[in-house]
């Protein structure tokens, strides 16, 4: 009889333990699912629809010295996303804009109204890159990419064509992992990841999109990279 009771207690204990583990696993899965949720975010500026638009990118000389193709890559990347996502938009060819920049001395000191007239567009999206680095200052042994910029909107019919109609600050970080040492990734991978994140966040200003509900907990590697 005692052996039977002990066996019964053991069976009950095993069932209870299994139930607790199952409940813990279910809770962990539910929490993980919650962390992977994305929410729809409305555009901050909706004035590009059904308009001709020039995407112009500028950066400090020291940034251009280190990354000579940066402005071209940002212009092409943002322009492609706007063409895909914004209804009725007509994005000017980045090749034409680059030629205009090269052939126009001190183009970035022109009044905004002159830029609009010379390019003959309804809107200018002016991306002024302030920071683009792959390592923390003074430490080349750690990957910690950061890109910051001001995004200014110039409207042909604005109340003051020489002032931004709207302006936004953008900041991107890559990789998500903290204190990633230099041997864990290549410079090309970090630069490509930072550039893609920066382009995405810049373009997001202009159209509805999905963003992680919990950015600090979100794991992008578990999602479709196309979004």
Mean pLDDT of 47-53: 97
What's the CA gap between 74 and 144, in Å, rounded?
20
C-beta atoms surrounding 122 within 10 Å: 19
**Exposure b/e, 152-181, CB count within 10 A at least 16 = b:** bbbbbebeebeebbeebebebebbeeeebe
CB-CB contact of 95 with 80 (8 Å): no
List the structure tokens of 130: 């302030």
Q: Do 202 and 129 meet the contact criterion of CB atoms below 8 Å apart?
A: no
Q: Which CATH class is domain 44-219?
A: alpha beta
At 39, the pLDDT band (50, 70, 90 cuts) reads confident
- Return the structure tokens found at 74: 């940002």
What is the model's pLDDT at position 160?
Answer: 80
Reply yes or no on whether the pLDDT at 42 is more than 70. Answer: yes
Q: How many other CB atoms sit within 10 Å of the CB of residue 18?
A: 10
Parallel, antiparallel or unpaired: strands 166-174 and 145-155: antiparallel
Q: Is the pLDDT of residue 6 over 50?
A: no
Checking DSSP bridges between strand 209-212 and strand 145-155, what pairing results, if any? unpaired
State how far the Cα of 12 lies from the Cα of 192, in Å rounded to an integer.
56
pLDDT of residue 37: 72
Helix (H, G, I), strand (E, B) or coil at 196: helix
Q: Residue 202 in contact with residue 149, Cβ under 8 Å?
A: yes
Q: What is the pLDDT of residues 153-181, one digit of tens each?
A: 999 987 787 899 999 999 999 998 887 88
How far apart, in whole angstroms, are the C-alpha atoms of residue 130 and residue 149?
Answer: 5
For the stretch 111-136, pLDDT in tens is 999 999 999 999 999 999 999 999 99
Q: Pick the closest to residue 144 from 135, 154, 153 (CA basis).
A: 135
Look at residues 175, 135, 168, 171 and name the one whose alpha carbon lies nearest to residue 153.
168
Average model confidence (pLDDT) for the chain? Answer: 84
Q: Could you tell me the pLDDT band of residue 220, with boundaries at 50, 70 and 90?
A: low
Q: What ranges do the domains of the chain cover? A: 44-219
> Could you give the angle at which helices 94-103 and 70-85 cross, rounded to 10 degrees?
140
């Amino acid at each position: 009889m005692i052996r039977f009771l002990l066996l019964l207690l053991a069976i009950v204990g095993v069932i209870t333990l299994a139930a607790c583990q199952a409940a813990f696993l279910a809770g962990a899965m539910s929490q993980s699912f919650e962390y992977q949720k994305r929410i729809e975010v409305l555009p901050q500026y909706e004035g590009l629809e059904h308009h001709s638009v020039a995407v112009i990118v500028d950066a400090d000389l020291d940034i251009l010295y280190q990354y000579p193709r940066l402005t071209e890559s940002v212009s092409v990347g943002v322009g492609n996303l706007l063409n895909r996502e914004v209804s009725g938009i007509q994005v000017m060819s980045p090749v034409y804009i680059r030629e205009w920049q090269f052939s126009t001395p001190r183009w970035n000191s022109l009044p905004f109204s002159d830029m609009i007239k010379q390019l003959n567009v309804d809107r200018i999206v002016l991306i002024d890159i302030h920071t683009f680095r792959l390592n923390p200052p003074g430490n080349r042994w750690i990957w910690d990419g950061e890109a910051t910029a001001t995004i200014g909107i110039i409207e042909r019919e604005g109340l003051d064509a020489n002032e931004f109609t709207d302006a936004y600050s953008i900041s991107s970080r890559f990789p998500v992992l903290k204190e990633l040492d230099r041997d864990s990734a290549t410079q090309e991978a970090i630069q490509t990841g930072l550039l893609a994140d920066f382009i995405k966040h810049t373009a997001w200003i202009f159209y509805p999109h999905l963003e992680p509900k919990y950015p600090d907990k979100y794991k992008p590697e578990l999602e479709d990279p196309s979004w």
